[in-house]
Amino acid sequence: MDQAYELYDAILSGNAKAAGALAQEAIDNGADPGGMVASRMIPAMDEVGRRFECGDCYVPELLLAGRAMKAALNVVRPLLAAGATERAGTVVIGTVQGDLHDIGKNLVTAVLEGAGFLVHDLGVDVPAARFVEAVKEKQPDILALSALLTVTLPAMKSTLDALARAQVRHRVKVMVGGAPVTRQYADEIGADAYSDNAFGAVKLARALMGENPPCSTVR
Amino acid sequence: MQYRALAIPDPRQLVYGRSPRPVKCGFDLEIGGGLVFPEVNFTLPAIEIRADTWSEVMAQYHEMAGNIVRRAVALQVPGIVLEFELLPPMTANPPWGAEITRLLRQHLAEAYDRHGLRSALRVTPTDIRDQTRPPVLREGAPWENLARSFEMCIEAGADIVSIESVGGKELHDPGLMYADLRQIVFAVGVLAPRDTAWLWDRISQMCGAQGRAIPGGDSACGFANTAMQLAHQKMLPEVLAAVVRAMSAVRSLVAFEHGAVGPSKDCAYEGPVIKAITGCPISMEGKSASCAHFSPIGNVAACVCDLWSNESVQNVRLLSGSAPEAYTELLAYDCRLMNIAASQGHGLLLRDWLSQSDEDLSAQAAMLSPAATCRIAGAIVNADDQYQRTIAAGKSAVCELRERAAAGRLKLSAKEKQWLDRIEAELSALPGEDDLRAEMLDRCADLFAPRSYGWE
């Protein structure tokens, strides 16, 4: 088996150390970096995504595969033609003010990063003003807001209001999610998209970036 | 004080409603003395908690307490516990939490005076110490507000205080997401016990200083319930969530080694293990907490409870009235059935039915069966320190699952079996505590602050 095939397996099995080493070995042996990404690395991630969606693997396998992909990309990226490794997009993410829950947000962050997005995580209990500041400073394509408590839902609306008051609402697409969030609520507060799970969030983010046709959860 | 033996060594003595160390609190209420009582937990609908919305917040709590008490009186419950879980802004601003505590206490006092309703008020401040990354647990405004919140709520009339403490969660959450057993065990078996010990020394002291509130217990909600919910969403293997549940009992037991006397917190599904070891009463939640979350342990959770809770319900309108009063009714009938069965000598039979109806359908439910409870509890008290106890609890959970699967009782998919093998191998390969600590200090230095755990 050549290194490229082994690289596919290393990514699929989440072995970051092997993935990095095999990518280097393949490059040293004259493999085409662009071809390697297209024919081995991306298909490996697609396969692990497919397995997850079918219920054949869990989040840890998915995240470990993402970590292995990153290790291989670190080797390959400098050799690719300019523009070939552009980010899928930039996202600012945070849990809204008053809410300390972060596992859902962290999962969305990890999955977005695995999908090639640059993610700026503002953490938990983030005041609206800090989201506004980050939109101005980081100039993200997408702002992702998370909440787990019913009583912190209104902070999502306050954040959108603050973006409007600061006249930056038009600069960014806003995506919302979390246990008490509904599509209806997302519509009411004027969010651009809503997802009830991390993987849906990635699809939405891609749709918002114009990669895929808009789906029903994108306004 | 470290528990070295089981308070309830015979699984047949591990029953609902009765604990070797019952507690008396509130308005003439004895918990663990023979009856199971409803514990009703209620929360606000979507509303921002700010100074200018405060009168509306208070009005909501006034309405909820009034409705719950009325329904409880109408159903002639022999006793009731109201639980007030502070929301983060109410802990960050301690006078707010105290004001609601005072209001709820007033409702219970009036119901006792007018109707003789026995009751107690449990108050649970939110552990807000994890606002920064890495969390600063032992100093700074969040800790000061949390401590002040306990003091003021006790002063305002809390009869029982509890917490869902978060020390170690900063490593546990990412550990779970990567199913990194070394990180999980370090978080739940080293960091969490250190924080729980530190915290409960202070909570117990605060209760003692004022002389009226009792230190209830701590919940591993942020650890094991996180795993349970992720498993429910098919994000994590169910066997991992089950093993984490067993291991988390060790950190919750530490609260009892540092002054807690029960009743433990409702969402602490590790409660049965705590009860078997300490003999203290516990609160549990299951089928009648479906308003708050899914669980595969709806019946088995009731097996050895002393309080039976709904976890949390929002104050929304239903056909029969408000949701909190509707859930009061559900709990009242659940308790009525358990109490009548026990009074007629059928408590053990009902307990076994509650267990058998769930325990073979889910790895997590299996962990809560009286047999598994005693096994895990025994493994814990036979090990020396918190780290070894955590590993022992995990290994006994693995053995329990293996035996059930081998006997054809518990059906595990091939994928779940692979995970069980992996968990077992990783638990067996864990190094000594000092070596694991050195590894984590090196590998996860950005995730936790050693000084939060008493290390410089």
Paired tokens of B342: 């026990």
The stretch A26-38 carries a mean pLDDT of 88
Nearest to A110 among B131, B177, B180 (CB): B177
Q: With CA atoms as reference, report the closest residue to A130 among A173, A100, A165, A162.
A: A162
Chain B residues with CB inside 8 Å of A55's CB?
234
Angle between helices A16-28 and A59-76 (to 10 degrees): 30
Sheet holding A173-177, edge to edge: A117-121, A89-95, A142-146, A173-177, A193-194
Q: Does B236 touch chain A (CB under 8 A)?
A: yes
For residue A85, what pLDDT is reported? 57
Answer yes or no: do A125 and B131 touch at CB < 8 A: yes
Write down the residue that tokens 């997009």 correspond to: A89
C-alpha to C-alpha distances, A219 to A164, B380, B399, B426, nearest whole angstrom: 18, 53, 51, 46
User: What are the pLDDT digits (tens) for A204-218?
Assistant: 998 998 864 443 355
Q: Does B415 touch chain A (CB under 8 A)?
A: yes
Are B44 and B227 in contact, with CB atoms under 8 Å apart? no
Answer yes or no: do B234 and A58 touch at CB < 8 A: yes
Instruction: State the complex-level ipTM.
Output: 0.87
Of A17-21, A68-72, A89-93, B49-53, minimum mean pLDDT range = A68-72
Nearest to A150 among B45, B130, B236 (CB): B45
The stretch B191-213 carries a mean pLDDT of 95
Q: Is the model's pLDDT at B346 over the cut of 80?
A: yes
Q: Does B48 touch chain A (CB under 8 A)?
A: yes
Q: What percent of chain B has pLDDT over 90?
A: 93
Q: Does B47 touch chain A (CB under 8 A)?
A: yes
B contact residues 143-182, partner A, Cβ 8 Å cutoff: 173-174, 176-180
Chain B residues with CB inside 8 Å of A102's CB?
173
Answer yes or no: do B177 and A60 touch at CB < 8 A: yes
Residue of B nearest to A121 (CA): B133
Answer yes or no: do B131 and A107 touch at CB < 8 A: no
For residue A216, what pLDDT is reported? 37
Q: Three-class SS of residue A41?
A: helix
Residue of A nearest to B173 (CA): A103
Q: What percent of chain B has pLDDT over 70?
A: 100
Answer yes or no: do B131 and A151 touch at CB < 8 A: no
The stretch B337-364 carries a mean pLDDT of 97
Q: With CA atoms as reference, report the closest residue to B392 among B404, B402, B377.
A: B377
For residue A111, what pLDDT is reported? 79
A contact residues 38-67, partner B, Cβ 8 Å cutoff: 55-60, 63-64
Nearest to B48 among A58, A59, A155 (CB): A155
User: What are the pLDDT digits (tens) for B14-45?
Assistant: 999 999 999 999 999 999 999 999 999 999 99
Q: Is the model's pLDDT at A103 over the cut of 90?
A: no
Residues 6 or more apart from B132 whose CB is under 8 A from it? Answer: A123, B142
Mean pLDDT of all residues belonging to chain A: 86
For residue A213, what pLDDT is reported? 42
A202/chain B closest Cα distance in angstroms? 16
A contact residues 64-123, partner B, Cβ 8 Å cutoff: 64, 98-100, 102-103, 106-107, 110, 123
B158/chain A closest Cα distance in angstroms? 23
Nearest to A151 among B87, B177, B230 (CB): B87
For residue B1, what pLDDT is reported? 67
Cα B71 to Cα B84: distance, rounded to the nearest angstrom? 18
Write down the residue that tokens 């108050």 correspond to: B123
Mutate to test the interface with A, among B43, B87, B235 (most CBs of A within 10 A): B235
For residue A197, what pLDDT is reported? 80
Task: Give me the sign of the Cα torsion angle A154, A156, A159, A160.
Answer: negative
C-alpha to C-alpha distances, B208 to A77, B143, B200, B360, nearest whole angstrom: 62, 19, 12, 43
Q: Does B45 touch chain A (CB under 8 A)?
A: yes
Nearest to A151 among B46, B132, B415 (CB): B46
Q: Is the model's pLDDT at A115 over the cut of 80?
A: no
Answer yes or no: do B177 and A106 touch at CB < 8 A: yes
| B245-B218-B254-B159 Cα dihedral, nearest 10 degrees | -150
Q: What percent of chain A has pLDDT over 70?
A: 91
Mutate to test the interface with A, among B178, B226, B294, B415 (most CBs of A within 10 A): B178
- Considering only residues B205 and A99, tell me which one the structure prediction assigns the higher pLDDT: B205
With 0-12 / 13-18 / 19 or more C-beta atoms within 10 angstroms meaning exposed / middle / buried, residue B434 is: exposed
Q: Does A154 touch chain B (CB under 8 A)?
A: yes
Mean pLDDT of all residues belonging to chain B: 96
Chains A, B: CB contacts within 8 A come to 71
Residue of B nearest to A14 (CA): B178
Cα B20 to Cα B275: distance, rounded to the nearest angstrom? 9
Write down the residue that tokens 């800090």 correspond to: A130
Say if strands B18-25 and B29-33 run parallel, antiparallel, or are unpaired. antiparallel
Q: Is the model's pLDDT at B104 over the cut of 50?
A: yes
Q: What percent of chain A has pLDDT over 90?
A: 44
For residue A214, what pLDDT is reported? 40
For residue B218, what pLDDT is reported? 98
Answer yes or no: do A100 and B234 touch at CB < 8 A: no
Q: Does A125 touch chain B (CB under 8 A)?
A: yes
Chain A residues with CB inside 8 Å of B173's CB?
102-103, 106
Q: Does B314 touch chain A (CB under 8 A)?
A: yes
Answer yes or no: do A59 and B49 touch at CB < 8 A: no
A155/chain B closest Cα distance in angstroms? 7
Alpha carbon A173 to its chain centroid, in Å, reads 14
